[in-house]
Amino acid sequence: MGESTIVCPACLAENSPFNPRCTRCGALFSEGPHSRATSTEHLLSSRDTSPDTIPSPNPPIDTLGSTVLVSDRNAPAPPAPPITETAIDLRPGRMLGRFEVQGHLGEGAMGVVVRARDPLLNRDVAIKIMQPEALGRLGAETALARLVREAQAMAKIKHPNVVTIHEVDASSGQVLVVMEYVDGRTLRAFCDEKRRPVAELLNAFIQAGKGLSEVHRAGLVHRDFKPDNVLVGADGRVRVTDFGLVGLTQSQAGDDLRNATPNEAAGTSLHAALTRTGSILGTPAYMAPELHRREPADARTDQYAFCVSLWEALAGERPFAGETYDELRANVTGGQLREPPRGAEIPARIRRCLERGLSVSRAGRYPDMDALMAAMQTAGAAEAMDNDGVLADTLVILVEA
């Protein structure tokens, strides 16, 4: 690729330096096209980040990011990506092995996701086309082997609250991860649609918690649990997605996120996933204190992110204030919980469960997600004494299912 082209940070497609948006996925070059990387080598090396720096992902405002398996029936379908010299032909009707491409679902740091038809089993699937070169300095062979290994680990998980991986194919030099297609929306969209009763929110989150617990039993750590990475199907079933492989993405280096407001960093700085070489660091708004200290993630790190997410759903805002990364980090690492806004409905006993899950020390949290779910069941049963048993019945049904 010559120096006259730039690379889209969302889908890695080549573009003219004069294009304000990617011609493949439509991502906005929010800094202006001339400020973007001018070669693949430059782009990939700029995504590497050391453990001692905070990366600045500065993602395009309108890219779908991690929420690529969801089909929002109320939103316009994104345009099918046009073909470039280096892109796989992903136009509707084209074939990926035995799968017929039906439409473009979205872009992620690791590649493209399409909806496709499996004629053999007569079902729709979502296919994530992973690109090993997006792993930067790990090297193509090492990256490919790692992608396959992670995908195989994910495929072993069979649980109603985890997106199912049907198969993995690496015969073309790229990893195709074939997953179940979920018709619905993200948990964030579900929560934002309207004001929902506490029992309904707990219903959804306990399903997600059970799925997250199953991921942990498989020996995986999600590393980026948040409402955007959970899907709510049209049937009401909740599924955790973007686990395992999210730990392999890379991001742009730099530490300008430290003092950037969300608007200054493409409008999503505190909600965009941060990464370092070989593993995900997390999304700042949901990161546990140990991640801010660059310590390894474990299942209790995911538990913390779960509690941030549920607090946010119940209170309408996250438990820790912070308009910049440094402000947020100080409050998180200092355990400075803020009071929910007036009118927020967090039952007292449920709040105590969340506060324990939000402990600064990992040792102060629940030993695992199962323990947290059991505590929430008990708390819900007690709260229901003032709510005609509705809340307790909801929790008992979900935890015992």
Global confidence as pTM: 0.69
Cβ neighbour number for residue 316 with a 10 Å cutoff: 16
Delimit the domains of the chain by residue range.
35-182, 185-400
Q: What is the pLDDT of residue 308?
A: 98
Chain segment 364-377, per-residue pLDDT in tens: 999 999 999 999 98
Chain segment 274-295, per-residue pLDDT in tens: 544 444 567 899 999 999 998 9
DSSP, residue by residue, 121-165: TTEEEEEEEE-GGGGGGG-HHHHHHHHHHHHHHHHT---TTBPPE
Chain segment 140-163, per-residue pLDDT in tens: 677 777 777 777 888 889 999 999
Q: What is the pLDDT of residue 206?
A: 94
Q: What torsion do the CA atoms of 118, 235, 286, 392 make, to the nearest 10 degrees?
A: -150
Question: Hey, which of 9-18, 138-147, 391-400 has the most confident mean pLDDT?
Answer: 138-147
Average pLDDT over residues 350-359: 97
Between 270 and 186, residue with greater pLDDT: 186
Question: Hey, which of 258-267, 310-319, 387-396 has the most confident mean pLDDT?
Answer: 310-319
- pLDDT confidence bin for 7, thresholds 50/70/90: low
Q: Which of 214-228, 235-249, 296-310 is the least confident region?
A: 235-249
Catalytic option among 48, 118, 224, 228:
224
Q: What is the pLDDT of residue 303?
A: 98
**What b/e readout covers 39-74, taking b as 16+ CB neighbours within 10 angstroms?**
ebeebbebbbbeeeebbbbbbbebbbbbbbbbbeee
- pLDDT confidence bin for 388, thresholds 50/70/90: low
Q: What is the pLDDT of residue 170?
A: 77
CATH superfamily membership of 35-182: Phosphorylase Kinase; domain 1 (3.30.200.20)
Q: Answer whether 171's CB lies under 8 Å from 117's CB.
A: no
Q: What percent of the chain has pLDDT over 90?
A: 40
Between 380 and 38, residue with greater pLDDT: 380
- The verdict on whether 118 is a catalytic residue reads no
CATH superfamily membership of 185-400: Transferase(Phosphotransferase) domain 1 (1.10.510.10)
Chain segment 290-335, per-residue pLDDT in tens: 999 989 999 999 999 999 999 999 999 999 999 899 999 999 999 9
Cβ neighbour number for residue 360 with a 10 Å cutoff: 16
